[in-house]
Amino acid sequence: MNNLRGIYTIWYRDLLRFWHDKMRLIGSLTFPLLFLFIFGSGLSARMGLLGPGIDFTRFIFPGIIGMTVLMSSFMAGVSVVWDREFGFLKEVLVAPISRTCVAVGKTLGAATVALLQGMLILLFAPLIGVSFSMWTVLALLPLMFLLAASMGSFGILLATRIRTMEAFQAVMQMLMFPMVFLSGAFFPVQGLPTWMNILVKLNPATYGIDPIRQVALGTQADSPFSLILFGHTMSIWDDVMILALFGLVTTVLAIWSFSNQE
């Protein structure tokens, strides 16, 4: 019971910090909306149709959702580094709960905050002429949460091994932006140069963006936006399994890392 209460407390604390930090909320929306309206609406006429009935704005919108979720959850590691620098993490680690609960609580907190931010981006869909049915939105939510939890556990794993805020920010930028741009969020993943195709397939974020786009666009197996791995066209469930495996591995490693914290 203490462990469950500990998970809930850590999760709830992250939500409260997000809710009371209005500038963080505004900033987290401004960046993806700039991409959406400048790159999406601005370049849509020049890009033309990328597929049957799908212009660049409609294509990029699922990528913007995935980017928002990825960046928000990945940055959750900042709170771990912050808590360490101010001594709060030491108090948490000596509390009468297992350190597994600390890692799980931080991951769930990061995933929930990222999911909320992704849902806010969905509200802007009508402003750019994109519409989703209620069933599509309901199908998107678990995919967004899986991406958030996987990237959140990865960010927290990194944060457990980094001691200063400056170092974490440098590592975050070094990893996060390449992951976003090589995930297929802004361009189709077919017909890429060999070197870029390899990087895209090695990028775990690719398997979070692809199912979100498949659901949002309702694409079929022969779609020009399909992700092909070793000659196999990836279905939503294929993507989910790979991303879930990545999330499981990073969560286990984050738990192990927390268990070795002093």
pLDDT in tens, 6-19: 788 888 888 888 77
Closest alpha carbon to 113 in 242, 251, 21: 21
Domain ranges of the chain: 2-259
pLDDT in tens, 161-191: 887 777 878 888 888 888 888 888 888 887 7
Model-level pTM? 0.87
Is residue 128 classed exposed, middle or buried when 0-12, 13-18 and 19+ CB atoms within 10 A define those classes? middle
pLDDT for the residue 41: 62
In the chain, the percentage of residues whose pLDDT exceeds 70 is: 85
Whether the predicted pLDDT of 221 surpasses 70: no
Whether the predicted pLDDT of 160 surpasses 90: no
pLDDT in tens, 97-140: 777 787 888 888 889 989 988 888 888 877 777 777 888 889 89
Contact 60, 183 (CB under 8 A): no
